[in-house]
């Protein structure tokens, strides 16, 4: 096993997901399979090849610095699960930005 | 300074600068400060699915400017990256930033310490990124309130090499960056409002050691003097730990400005995994030669260039020139005065003396000053022509002018009768009066206490209500005393 249970828990934590018991075992096997598949790619000779990051040679088109206010505060807050008349409301998180 | 001085501090700074654009980095919502919460947002800055970011030209140009000003190498092929973490003030779940292709590489910040010592601090990189929203934790008992007006504001992060050794050097470094962003007009440099923010990585090691000690990151320093205070405190704290054979813990600490101390915010458990990967929504930005040329051409004069010009063209002393250029608006005001007069040294003295004194007393910036450079130039010519003397110009004309700023100094001098009296018979009468009032002092003068002449001149000036010319009064007093 190259993907340990702890590794699954660590990845799950980073993705704000939770797996235990059977689910965890299944996820562990899936991740293992993904890793095996990716390892096949390691066999390909990429010597001297630039990594392919973008599909195509497109460059960014820069935008002109102009203010366009597209939506109102009410519209902005509309889909929030919890809100008041001015703010989005979220549960308090004690520990910093992790 | 470390009291025992057996340790040396190693400090690196990270400075976040909010770029003064009109709209955000990747969307068109406004970034104006102080708007009502959540009124300056868009589907892009709120991270709605299906939206596509587009980078703001002005943000790229302003970021290039600071790189050019700090002698960095500008990266031509710029990739964007996603820095992934979950926090409520980051609606997308990732921050658009740069990872392996920062816009600016290398460069240096030349600082001057209060003792006159100069040092060059190397830069690691400057990269482009976006700001987060603002969370308010103390407004409500159960919920955190989030305002996304700031989310997506264009930022640059300036990262220094760990070349800084003391709180004083850090102070000078941040001051220089702030002055520069103000000169370039890319940020107002307001640390209280958070448009310029500074984090410090501080570690200490025994002097002579080549390895680094455990690094502590200090945050929440909302003024330049707090950067210095926090670092000085942190150095002392770490030295005390090492002295008592303890271990410094790698952690993030906040700064308490009231107590002047740092406190633990969170431990660093391993390296946080941000899982950076190339931002698929933004193709790379290529900086062309033409873009570099046009950005360079649009750059205002930098402080160090202005300094050389002020000393060379106007013959100002290094001290006068550096005091003037310390603030861009003061320097510009000075230049406007000297476009009307050749009295360079006097113009500099007025800007750094009476004008700055008045502005400081009233907590104003020179851009809010009611008097025009033409009016100040007029005062200078009045003095030069001998129509008024310096004392009555600063003590009488200047305050009157501030009360009636729509008048020209020349009119006011006439109205108030401030013209210096050179008529010697008038002054002679005053001198005889004064000497008559102080017979014993006159005797002391005659017995050799010549310093008393200052007293007599001062009394005459008082009686003339500042109209007497100090120089000729001085001569006359001496002459009359010697005759008597």
CATH number of the domain within which A33 lies? 1.10.20
- CB < 8 Å from B in window 61-90 of A: 61-73, 76-77, 82, 84, 86-90
What distance in Å separates the CA atoms of residue B78 and residue B71, rounded to the nearest whole number?
Answer: 18
CA distance A45 to chain B (A): 23
Q: Which residues of B touch A85 (CB under 8 A)?
A: none
Averaged over B264-269, what is the pLDDT? Answer: 77
Q: How many CB pairs (< 8 A) connect A and B?
A: 126
Query: Does the model's pTM come out above 0.90?
Result: no
Is residue B461 very low, low, confident or very high in pLDDT (cuts 50, 70, 90)?
A: confident
Residue A97 lies in a domain: no
Residue A85 lies in a domain: no
pLDDT 10s digits, A4-46: 999 999 889 888 898 889 999 999 999 999 999 888 888 889 8
Residue A55 lies in a domain: no
Residue A71 lies in a domain: no
Provide ipTM, 2 decimals: 0.87
CA distance B231 to chain A (A): 21
CA distance B127 to chain A (A): 17
Pick the CATH number of B424-483 from 1.10.10.410, 3.10.310.40, 3.40.50.300, 3.30.465.10: 1.10.10.410
> CA-nearest residue of chain A to B58?
A65
> CA-nearest residue of chain B to A72?
B39
Residue A14 lies in a domain: yes
Round the average pLDDT of chain B to a whole number and report it: 92
Residue A21 lies in a domain: yes
Q: Which residues of A touch B22 (CB under 8 A)?
A: 65-67
Judged by a CB distance cut-off of 8 A, whether residue B148 touches chain A is: yes
CA distance B246 to chain A (A): 26
Q: Does the beta-carbon distance from B143 to A98 stay under 8 Å?
A: no
Averaged over A80-90, what is the pLDDT? Answer: 96
Domains held by chain A: number: 1
pLDDT 10s digits, B10-69: 999 999 999 999 999 999 999 998 899 999 999 999 999 999 999 999 999 999 999 999
Q: Does the beta-carbon distance from A88 to B283 stay under 8 Å?
A: no
Does the pLDDT of residue B318 top 60, yes or no?
A: yes
Instruction: Locate the domains of chain B by residue range.
Output: 7-291, 301-416, 424-483
Judged by a CB distance cut-off of 8 A, whether residue A14 touches chain B is: yes
Residue A47 lies in a domain: no
Say what the pLDDT of residue A41 is. Answer: 86
Token readout for B64 is 């290039």
Is residue B463 very low, low, confident or very high in pLDDT (cuts 50, 70, 90)?
A: confident
pLDDT 10s digits, B200-245: 999 999 999 999 999 999 998 999 999 999 999 999 999 999 999 9
Structural domain span for residue A22: 5-42
CA distance A12 to chain B (A): 12
Q: Which residues of A touch B278 (CB under 8 A)?
A: 53-54
Residue A69 lies in a domain: no
């Amino acid at each position: 096993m190259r993907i340990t249970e702890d590794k699954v828990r660590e990845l799950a934590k980073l993705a704000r997901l939770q797996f235990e018991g059977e689910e965890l075992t299944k996820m562990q096997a899936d991740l293992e399979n993904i890793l095996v598949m990716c390892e096949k790619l390691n066999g390909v000779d990429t010597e001297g090849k630039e990594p392919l990051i973008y599909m195509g040679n497109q460059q960014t088109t820069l935008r002109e610095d102009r203010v366009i206010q597209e939506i109102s505060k009410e519209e902005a807050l509309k889909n929030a699960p919890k809100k008041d008349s001015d703010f989005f409301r979220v549960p308090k998180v004690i520990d910093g930005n992790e | 300074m470390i009291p025992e001085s057996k340790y040396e501090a190693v400090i690196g700074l990270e400075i976040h600068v909010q770029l003064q654009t009109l709209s955000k980095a990747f969307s068109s919502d406004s970034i104006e400060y102080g708007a009502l919460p959540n009124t300056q947002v868009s589907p892009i800055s709120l991270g709605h699915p299906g939206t596509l970011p587009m980078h703001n030209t002005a943000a790229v140009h302003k970021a290039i400017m600071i790189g050019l000003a700090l002698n960095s190498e500008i990266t031509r092929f710029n990739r964007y990256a996603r820095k992934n973490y979950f926090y409520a003030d980051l609606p997308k779940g990732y921050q658009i930033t740069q990872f392996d292709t920062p816009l600016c590489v290398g460069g240096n910040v030349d600082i001057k310490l209060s003792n006159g010592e100069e040092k060059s601090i190397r830069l690691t990189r400057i990269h482009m990124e976006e700001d987060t929203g603002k969370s308010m934790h103390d407004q409500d008992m159960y919920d955190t309130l989030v305002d996304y007006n700031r989310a997506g504001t264009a930022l640059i992060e300036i990262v220094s090499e760990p070349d800084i050794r003391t709180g004083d050097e850090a102070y000078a470094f941040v001051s220089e960056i702030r002055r520069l962003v103000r000169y370039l007009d890319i940020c107002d440099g307001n640390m209280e409002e958070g448009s310029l923010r500074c984090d410090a990585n501080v570690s200490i090691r025994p002097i002579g050691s080549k390895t680094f000690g455990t690094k502590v990151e200090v945050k929440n320093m909302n003024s330049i003097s707090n950067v210095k205070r926090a670092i000085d405190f942190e150095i002392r704290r770490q030295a005390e730990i090492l002295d008592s054979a303890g271990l410094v813990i790698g952690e993030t600490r906040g700064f308490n400005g009231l107590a002047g101390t740092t406190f633990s915010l969170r431990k660093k458990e391993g390296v946080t995994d941000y899982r950076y990967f190339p931002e698929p929504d933004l193709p790379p930005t290529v900086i062309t030669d033409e873009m570099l040329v046009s950005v360079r051409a649009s750059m205002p004069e930098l402080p160090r260039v202005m300094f050389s010009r002020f000393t060379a063209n106007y013959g100002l002393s290094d001290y006068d020139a550096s005091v003037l250029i310390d603030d861009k608006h003061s320097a510009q005001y000075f230049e406007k005065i000297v476009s009307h007069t050749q009295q360079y040294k006097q113009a500099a003295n007025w800007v750094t003396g009476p004008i700055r004194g008045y502005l400081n007393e009233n907590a104003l910036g020179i851009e809010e000053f009611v008097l025009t450079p033409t009016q100040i130039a007029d005062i200078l010519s009045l003095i030069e022509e001998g129509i008024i003397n310096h004392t009555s110009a600063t003590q009488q004309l200047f305050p009157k002018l501030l009360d009636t700023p729509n008048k020209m100094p020349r009119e006011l001098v006439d109205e108030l009768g401030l013209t210096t009296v050179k008529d010697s018979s008038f002054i002679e009468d005053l001198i005889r009066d004064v000497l008559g009032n102080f017979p014993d002092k006159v005797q002391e003068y005659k017995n050799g206490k010549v310093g008393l002449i200052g007293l007599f001149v001062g009394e005459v000036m008082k009686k003339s209500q500042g109209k007497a010319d100090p120089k000729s009064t001085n001569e006359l007093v001496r002459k009359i005393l010697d005759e008597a």
